Amino acid sequence: MTEQFEIIFQPDGRRIKVKKGQSILEAANEAGVDITSICGGMGTCGKCKVIIESQADIKDINEYIDNIEESERKFLTEEEIKGNFRLACRCKIDQNLTVRIPIESRTGKQRLQVEGVITEVKIVPNIKKYHIILEKASLDDTTSDFDRLSQHLESKHGLTGLKINFNLLKSIGPIIRNADWDFTAVVWNDQEIIALEQGNTEKELYGYAVDIGTTKLAAYLLNLKNGEVLAVGSLMNPQIPFGEDVISRINYEDPQKLQNVIIEGLNEIFEDIIQKANIYSKYVYDLSVVGNTTMLYLFLGIDANQIGVAPYVPAFTSGLNTNNDHLGILMNDHSKIYTLPVFSGYVGADTMGVILATEIYKSEELCMALDIGTNTEVILGNKDRILTCSCASGPAFEGAHIEFGMRASSGAIEKVKIDPKTLEPEIKTIDDISARGICGSAIVDIPAEMLKTKIISVHGRMNNELNNPRLRHGEKFYEYVLVWAKDSLLNKDIIINQKDIREIILAKGAMHTGTEILMQEYGIKEEKIDKLYIAGAFGTHIDLENARLIGLYPEIPISKIQSVGNAAGTGARMCLVSKEMRNIAEEVRKKVEYIELGAHPNFQNVYLNSNYIPFADLNRYPKTAALLKEIGNYPKRKIHIF
Amino acid sequence: MATKEEILKKLYDSVINYNVDECNAAAEEGIESGFDPIDLIQEGLTPAILDIGDKFGSGEISLPLLMVSAETMQSAMKILMDEMKKGGKKFKPKAKMVIGTVQGDIHDLGVTIVSAVFEAAGIQVINVGRDVPAQKFIDVAEEEEADIIGTSALLSGTMFQQKVVVEKLKKQGLRDKYIYLIGGGAMPSGDWCEEISADGWATDVMDALEITRNLLLKKGIEL
């Protein structure tokens, strides 16, 4: 039996056991961790640099250095070698390790959806810069520096009641004199001076927009003069090792640590994107943030414990402006950071972002939006009335609780089609390599395809009398073989079993319950919905027809459905470039009604009805019902509707 | 005239096939034929719901079908229990259990499932609801002279309430009087159960029943 060792990859927090002698690159691929390898592990591109964070005993640094292969020295600097850098493809594993993959060795291609729908918005700047040449103070004119400055700004630009950041005030005198009275004042929201810069720097005006997802961070760098996106970056949320989901992070004993790692992670992305765009961080003056309520609170350092306990009430919901002095973001020191308003403990600023980006708040048409992620938020409404709720769908669509489930990365099966006659599957994997697991979009395809080929019934029960080599009794559950061992990367058959199907139905049932309860509260059925928006990375990659077939959402014509990608990020960008949008966001916050699903009297009944593929009441899914009748998979007995 | 076996089979089949009308009819027929309602419950209905529970565990039947079968069984059970009351007999349950979701938590689907299956197994279940303060579990158990207290917590932030109940029981000198069971998805392993010295834990209803059965046996109660 070959010795096995455990490798932990940071900041992803993923662990994997590998055999002695395998390379770190192989381990990373197997664990589904994002790492670049242009030459495919031959040692000729030097792109897979990693940092060995802990080794049982690096007793002798010279010996350690001696172990570095010749081929690696070409690509590693002296400094890097001393800092424990290695090439992942050359470094063979012979003990338990923690390995950090720096941002420069990542492809960023881990389907970290950063692109979102582009919504036109008029630029109404929150930050303005004024080049000023002041009369020097003299014995004849002893006006204080601040008065001199603010009087100038009032008479020239109509700004009254100006304040100044205290930390900036501390050195206003030296700054102005070092600039020889010729400088640029940076003013926040026509209210507060946040920076004073030598000479004329009016051209340099930048800002960040950020989406702090539970799983993924997305950041954008924008030119605030014209609203242009200059660079984009993303990273797995570095809080993951401390808690996979919102609840476990709320209960983590050291919230300060969570705040620290998120700020570090964001700064890592910011460092990367300002380099890409070739600008200085001191010229970044604004940051607009979306994320669910817990993510925002952990970022700001606000106590989030009460969100974890019924009635799940948040401490506050308005948009906030927080001085960067408190946070230490890589941007101008005295900037203010804007977090969009939230609605409740579980419907946060990301949902606000989606509402702004899809313009539901001013729509004449009745719109529904689903932001599918670790939690799923549902929005239903128009300019007159908007309802929202949060569904604890669980992580099944991210691969958790599914035998061969995995996150979307190289080797994950992302698409499945099943031949109705032979029951043979046709699969596509990410990067087209051999399969090693199943990711979210395939987790939607599979029950849909099985329903269409009569492998399962609307009850979700697998037919165990079908006599086909792909269908068999597994160790504990009945299963269908997607990929035979010889064709997989794992030397095991990749299967999906009855229990997996139940998990998928439970997850989609929760989402469907959200849509159904909101429609009930609104007093409408799906025919009245003019548009359905699907937000989130997941939404961009799923087969919309299959998702509808299994009842992830109501039966709405595909022509009315639009994937909007990271619409939350779009909303953050809109609020970055327009302070009018921030005011609108505040109004939206007050107007939207939040429905607590778990407390709703119909919740249990609707949830039970949603535990079918697609729904207990097949009259609500006429297209699917017709298809089922056609293929002979329509239920013989009437389904009990709770 | 149908034999007892035939009636029992009708009762069993109708629960498995979640056919309320047939189940009720079989119960009525059983009564008319003069069979003991207790036998009809214990030998007809109970095995059915236990098999349903197993099928649920293997994923063969869905959650809603479990609930429908449970409701089917409960419907017939009501007919049979009413009959017993008429005859002056009372269906004395083998054991009584107080169950609910702890304070700060409102997830109760699990409690509903456990209640349905446990009732079928002959345990009288008193569901005190959700977001229930710790003391209430104890007060109701005392009042109803229950044998078991079961608390469910789905959120890790409310788990500690399960410990609060144990602490109160100890303080009030009642710990040994009750079998204390914990459930809910908050703790996926036995560590929490051990830590707070609960008597048993489960996340699957059939496991829960098995554990409860064994614990009751130790107290001399046979389900």
pLDDT in tens, A599-635: 898 998 999 999 999 999 999 999 999 999 999 999 9
Secondary structure of A119-162 in HEC code, one letter for each residue: CCCCCECCEEEEEEECCCCCCCCCCCHHHHHHHHHHHHHCCCCC
Least confident of A122-126, A362-366, A535-539, B135-139: A535-539
Nearest to A272 by CA among A62, A416, A104, A20: A104
Please tell me the distance from the alpha carbon of residue A349 to that of residue A338, in angstroms, as a whole number.
11
Chain B residues within an 8 Å CB radius of A501: 59
Reduced 3-state DSSP string for A422-485: CCCEEEEEHHHCCECEECHHHHHHHHHHHHHCCCECCCCCECCCCCCCCEEECCCCEEEEEECH
> A598 forms bridges with which residues in the sheet?
none
How much is the pTM?
Answer: 0.82
Bond from prior residue into A614 cis (ω within 30 degrees of 0): yes
pLDDT in tens, A144-163: 999 999 999 999 999 999 99
Q: Which of A341, A342, A345, A344 is nearest to A308 (CA)?
A: A345
Contact A611 B18 (CB under 8 A): no
Mean pLDDT of A174-203: 96
Residues of B in contact with A251 (CB under 8 A): 156-157
Number of Cα atoms under 13 Å in the Cβ half of residue B155: 28
B131 interfaces chain A, CB cutoff of 8 Å: yes
- Tell me how close the Cα of B221 comes to any Cα of chain A, in angstroms: 32
- Average pLDDT over chain A, rounded to whole? 91
A313 — contact with chain B (CB < 8 Å)? no
∠A80-A85-A86 over CA atoms, to 5°?
130
Residue A312 touches chain B, beta carbons under 8 Å = no
Residues of B with CB below 8 A from A607's CB? 109
Name the percent of chain A lying above pLDDT 70: 96
Q: What is the 3 state secondary structure string of A39-63?
A: CCCCCCCCCCEEEEEECCCCCCHHH
* Residue in A305, A498, A611 closest to B59 by CB: A498
Write down the H helix ranges in chain B: 4-16, 20-32, 37-39, 46-57, 63-86, 109-120, 134-144, 160-171, 191-195, 205-218
Amino acid A61: pLDDT: 58
For an interface test with A, the pick among B16, B60, B127, B160 (most A C-beta atoms closer than 10 Å) comes out as B60
Asked whether residue A37 carries a pLDDT value surpassing 90, the answer given is no
A567 neighbors A533 (Cβ within 8 angstroms):
yes
Average pLDDT over residues A326-335: 96
* Cβ of residue A612 closer than 8 Å to a chain B Cβ: yes
Q: What is the distance, to the nearest Å, from the Cα of residue B105 to the centroid of all Cα atoms in its chain?
A: 20
Residue B63 at interface with chain A, using a CB cutoff of 8 Å: yes
| pLDDT at residue A88, rounded to an integer | 92
Residue of A nearest to B69 (CA): A640
- Cβ contacts of A506 on chain B, cutoff 8 Å: 63
- Model pLDDT for residues A245-304, shown as the tens digit of each residue: 888 899 898 999 999 999 999 999 999 999 999 999 999 999 999 999 999 999 999 999
How much is the pLDDT for A110?
45
Question: Among candidates A488, A473, A477, which has minimal Cα distance to A413?
Answer: A488
Q: Which of residues 134-173 of B touch A (CB under 8 A)?
A: 155-158
Cα A558 to its chain centre, rounded Å, is: 25
| Residues counted in chain A | 642
pLDDT band of A107, cuts 50, 70, 90: low
* Confidence band of A577 (pLDDT split at 50, 70, 90): very high
Look at residue B150 and give its three-state secondary structure.
Answer: strand
Mean pLDDT of A445-468: 96
pLDDT (average), residues A90-111? 76
* Residues with Cβ within 8 Å of residue A628, at least 6 apart in sequence: A451, A458, A618, A634, A635
Per-residue model confidence as pLDDT tens digits over A477-487: 999 999 999 99
pLDDT of residue A60: 60
Looking at this protein, which amino acid is placed at residue A600? H
- Band (A113; pLDDT cuts 50, 70, 90): low
pLDDT attached to residue B106: 81
**Dist CA A476 CA A496 (whole Å):** 12
Q: Which amino acid is at B36?
A: D
Q: Which two three-digit tokens encode residue B22?
A: 């047939």
> Cβ distance A369 to A358 under 8 Å?
yes
Element housing A517 (H / E): helix A498-522
For A56-67, the pLDDT digits (tens) are 555 565 666 677
Angstrom distance (rounded) from CA A470 to CA A395 = 27
At residue A63, the pLDDT reads 64
User: Tokens 């004199």 correspond to what residue?
Assistant: A177
Token pair recorded at residue A228? 């242009």
Under an 8 A CB cutoff, do A459 and B61 touch? yes
- Bond preceding residue B93 cis, omega within 30 of 0: no
Distance CA A468, CA A455 (A): 10
pLDDT at position A111, please? 46
Please tell me which residue, A431 or A301, carries the higher pLDDT value. A301
The residue ranking higher by pLDDT, A381 or B223, is A381
Residues 6+ apart with CB under 8 A from A384: none
Asked if residue B64 has a cis previous peptide bond (ω within 30° of 0), the answer is: no
Chain A neighbors of B18, CB-CB under 8 A: 640
- Give the pLDDT confidence score for residue A35 in this predicted structure: 83
- The mean pLDDT of A408-429, rounded to a whole number, is 94
Position A167 pLDDT exceeds 80: yes
Residue A400 contacts B where some CB pair is shorter than 8 Å: no
Question: Could you tell me if B203 lies within 8 Å of chain A, comparing CB atoms?
Answer: no
Supply the pLDDT for residue A338. Answer: 98
Residue A54 has pLDDT above 70, yes or no: no
Which pLDDT score is estimated for A109? 47
| Rounded CA separation A506/B112 (Å) | 16
CB contact under 8 A, A502 and B109: no
Instruction: Give the pLDDT band of residue A397 (cuts 50, 70, 90).
Output: confident
Torsion of CA A587, A589, A591, A596, to 10 degrees: 180
User: A611: which chain B residues are within 8 Å (Cβ-Cβ)?
Assistant: 62-64
Q: Quick one: tokens of A349?
A: 């600023």
* Inter-chain CB proximity A250 and B157 less than 8 Å: yes
On the question of pLDDT at A108 being above 60, the answer is no
- For residue A105, the distance in angstroms to the closest alpha carbon of chain B comes to 36
Question: A68: buried, middle or exposed (CB in 10 Å: 19+, 13-18, 0-12)?
Answer: middle
- The per-residue DSSP string of A279-305 comes to --GGGEEEEEEEE-HHHHHHHHT---G
Residue owning tokens 């520096």:
A145
Regions of chain B where pLDDT drops below 50: none
Pairwise pLDDT comparison (B222 vs A334), residue with the higher score: A334
Distance between A477 CA and the closest CA of chain B, angstroms = 6
Measured CA to CA, the distance from residue A604 to residue A598 in angstroms comes to 8
Q: At what angle do helices B63-86 and B46-57 cross, to 10 degrees?
A: 170
Query: Does B66 contact A at CB distance below 8 Å?
Result: no
Residue B18, chain A, CB below 8 Å: the answer is yes
